[in-house]
Amino acid sequence: ALAAAFYDPAFTADAPLMVRPGTFYNYSSTNFMLAGLMAEAAAGKPFRVVVRQRVFKPLGMKRAAFQSSEVTADTDAASGVGTSTVYAPGAYDDSVERPAGMAWASANDMAKFMKFLLRGDRDVLSPRYWRAMQTAQVDLAEHPGGRQGHGYGLAVDSDAAFPDSTGQLRFYPGVKMVWYEGAVPGYRALMVTLPNQQFG
């Protein structure tokens, strides 16, 4: 499906190459989709199989999945809740968007992924790339508490920021925060790690 999308003239007409790679940073799901296509081509397997074999399985993420059929087969999957709609588990299945984060995972599996971010795992990623993944590769903006950047698929803040009991944002200077969030209608995920505190 990724190859069919990327090689379709209608798709490439709507997603043109704007500038040479490395010229400037712009958040782009399409670029992650392209990276997923390259992973498929290199491995000779669908993206979902590559990730299951190279990430989910070694980390013990048994309830992480890309296909809606796997989610609907799970007897303990949550329904999504919107303002006026309840979304059935597995309501989303977009094979082209999978590399940009279109996956399901249990809270326990997300915790296993956070442990990987905190401690690494040579069966998944070499220490060099594990460090690079959560090191700011691009500087995004300055906020009142410090700098924010992006690693590879992760936000990296130089100073952690959390709301206190009144909802007021509080900054913690020098406390590195590696995090990311995502949402589709009815569902939202947030993952935060504090590497130096070994906390997620």
Question: How far is the C-alpha of 136 from the C-alpha of 193, rounded, in Å?
Answer: 14
Return the half-sphere exposure (C-beta side, CA atoms, 13 A cut-off) of residue 91: 14
* Per-residue model confidence (pLDDT) at position 91: 83
Distant-in-sequence, close-in-space partners of 126: CB < 8 Å, separation ≥ 6: none
Q: Per residue in 64-106, pLDDT tens? A: 999 888 988 988 888 999 889 999 888 877 888 899 988 899 9
SS (H, E, C) the chain: CHHHHHCCHHHHHHCCCCCCCCCCCCCCHHHHHHHHHHHHHHHCCCHHHHHHHHHHCCCCCCCCECCHHHHHHCCCCCCEECCCCEECCCCCCCCCCHHHCCCECCHHHHHHHHHHHHHCCCCCCCHHHHHHHCCCCEEEEEECCEEEEECCCCEEECCEEEECCCCCEEEECCCCEEEEEEEECCEEEEEEEEHHHCEC
CA distance 146 to 167: 19
Quote the pLDDT of residue 146.
Answer: 63
Q: Please tell me the distance from the alpha carbon of residue 162 to that of residue 122, in angstroms, as a whole number.
A: 31
State the pLDDT at residue 13: 81
Q: What is the pLDDT of residue 142?
A: 62
* Distance, CA of 178 to chain centre: 12
- What six digits make up the tokens of 100? 């940009």
Strand-pairing partners, residue 147, are 142
Tokens for 187? Answer: 């569902």
Q: 19: which 2 tokens?
A: 């500038």
Q: What is the pLDDT of residue 143?
A: 59
List, in sequence order, every residue forming a beta bridge with 192; answer none if it has no partner: 179
Q: List the chain residues with pLDDT less than 70.
A: 142-146
Per-residue pLDDT at 50: 96
